[in-house]
Amino acid sequence: DAGVIQSPRHEVTEMGQEVTLRCKPISGHNSLFWYRQTMMRGLELLIYFNNNVPIDDSGMPEDRFSAKMPNASFSTLKIQPSEPRDSAVYFCASSSAGAGIYNEQFFGPGTRLTVL
Amino acid sequence: GENVEQHPSTLSVQEGDSAVIKCTYSDSASNYFPWYKQELGKGPQLIIDIRSNVGEKKDQRIAVTLNKTAKHFSLHITETQPEDSAVYFCAASIDGTASKLTFGTGTRLQVTL
C-alpha cells in the first residue's frame, strides 16, 4: 500500500490567495483527519470525517478554512483567503474506525505551507 | 477539553543509555494513550499505545507506563540507538475509537554516539 498521499508537498503562496491541500487516504480506511503542526501550537486536530461525513470540525480555526470529502478516496482542505499565520505543516491521516476499537491513525508526509 | 503536557522538550542521551519522556493529561475520562515518533520530513508514526485498563505495556526496547490516579504516562526507551533520534509525541483520547487525539508538544530526542 502506498500509504496516505498528500499533495502538494510544498506550497508557497501570497497572502490573500486561495490554497487547496489534497489527501488520498489508505484504501479501505473510513476515517480521515486533518491536522496542523506549528512550533507554537504543536499538532492540532482541525477536522475529521467518518464515512465521508464531517464528525467534528471544532478545531477549524476560522471560516476561512473549509474541508470536504466528496468520496472515500479523496479529501481537500481549503484556505481562502490565506494569511501569513496559516503557515504550517498540514497533515492528513486515515484510520479504519470501528466502534469500541482503538484505531491507529496513519499519517501522510504532510504539506508545508508558506504564506508570504 | 483535554490538555496534555509533555516533558522534557529536548533530551540528549548517549547511545546505549535509557530515555524517559513524561506526559500528564487533564481529563480523567481519557482512556487511550498512544505515542508517536516523527522523523525529519515525515508524518508521525505510532510506536506504542496503552489503554486505561492496563498499567504497563512493553514492545522490545520500548515500554509505556500509565498512572491513572496521577493522570500521567511515560515512554521508556532502553538501549537507545542513533535511529531512535526523532521527535516523540504523546497523545490522549476520550472517545471510544481514538478519533479525537490531543497531542503533547513533543520531545526532541537526540542519541549521540
- The DSSP string of A30-53 is -EEEEEEEETTTEEEEEEEEETTE
Question: Cβ-count burial of B99 within 10 angstroms (0-12 exposed, 13-18 middle, 19+ buried)?
Answer: buried
Place of cell 484504501: A27
Cβ contacts of B54 on chain A, cutoff 8 Å: none
Q: Cα angle vertex A24, ends A21, A29, to 5°?
A: 135
What's the average model confidence in pLDDT over A71-87?
Answer: 96
Measured CA to CA, the distance from residue A78 to residue A23 in angstroms comes to 12
CB pair distance less than 8 Å for A103 and B99: yes
Of residues A8, A113, A17, the one with CA closest to residue A64: A17
Tell me, what's the pLDDT at B97? 64
pLDDT at A102: 67
For position B52, what pLDDT does the model report? 83
Least confident residue range of A85-94, A96-105, B63-72? A96-105
Picking from B33, B49, B59, B99 by the largest number of A CB atoms within 10 A of its own CB, the best residue to mutate is: B99
| B96/A99 Cβ within 8 A | yes
Q: Does the CA dihedral B54-A102-B40-A68 come out positive or negative?
A: negative
pLDDT given for residue B96 in this prediction: 61
pLDDT surpassing 70 at residue A114: yes
DSSP SS3 for B26: coil
Burial code of A47-59, b = ≥16 C-beta within 10 A, e = fewer? bbbbebeeebeeb
- CA-closest candidate to residue B34, choices A46, A42, A104: A104
Ranges in chain B, pLDDT < 70 = 96-98
